Amino acid sequence: MNLAFALAAAVLFGTGAYLLLNRDLVRVALGVVLISQAATLTIVASGLSRGEAPIYPFDDAAAGETSDPLTQAMALTAIVIGFAVVALLLVLILRTVTAFRSRELDEIASEEAARDAELEREDAGEHDREEAAAE
């Protein structure tokens, strides 16, 4: 893992985390995209090596270094999985936006807060009635 890779992954992750904290749902999705790229880059960087083409079975003659094929395979898999889950997240956001008619997380959160407050009020009312009945 060399410094360039480490810096690039760190910047990607940091930017992604910043976007993830945004109120706008589309930016949240972009934050997830950047973080997934940071993970992929880290995988690529985790096994950098130079050498012969890694074709099985190994030639005894070329007993030198073979380059590491596993990181490529893992990175490809991670890219595909990341792509799939980001597509899923975007569809979910699309459905949320059509249902709430808003891209702001605040509005979704405020609806939930209102529901919780309503429950609290009901419970408090119940409690008061019980107290009165017990008197």
**Which residue among 39, 66, 67, 79 contacts another protein (CB under 8 A)?**
39
What whole-number distance in Å separates Cα of residue 45 and Cα of residue 39? 10
Q: What is residue 61's three-state secondary structure?
A: coil
What whole-number distance in Å separates Cα of residue 64 and Cα of residue 27? 47
Is 72 a residue that touches another protein (CB under 8 A)?
no
Q: What is the torsion angle, in degrees rounded to the nearest 10, for the CA atoms of residue 28, residue 34, residue 36 and residue 39? A: -140
> CB-wise, 62 or 83, nearer to another protein?
83
Q: How many helices (H) and strands (E) does the chain have?
A: 4, 0
Number of residues that bind another protein (CB under 8 A): 41
Applying CB under 8 A, the residues found at the interface with another protein are 1, 20, 25, 28, 32, 35-36, 38-39, 42-43, 45-47, 56, 68, 70-71, 74, 77-78, 81, 84-85, 88-89, 92-93, 95-96, 99-100, 108-109, 111-112, 115, 119, 122-123, 126
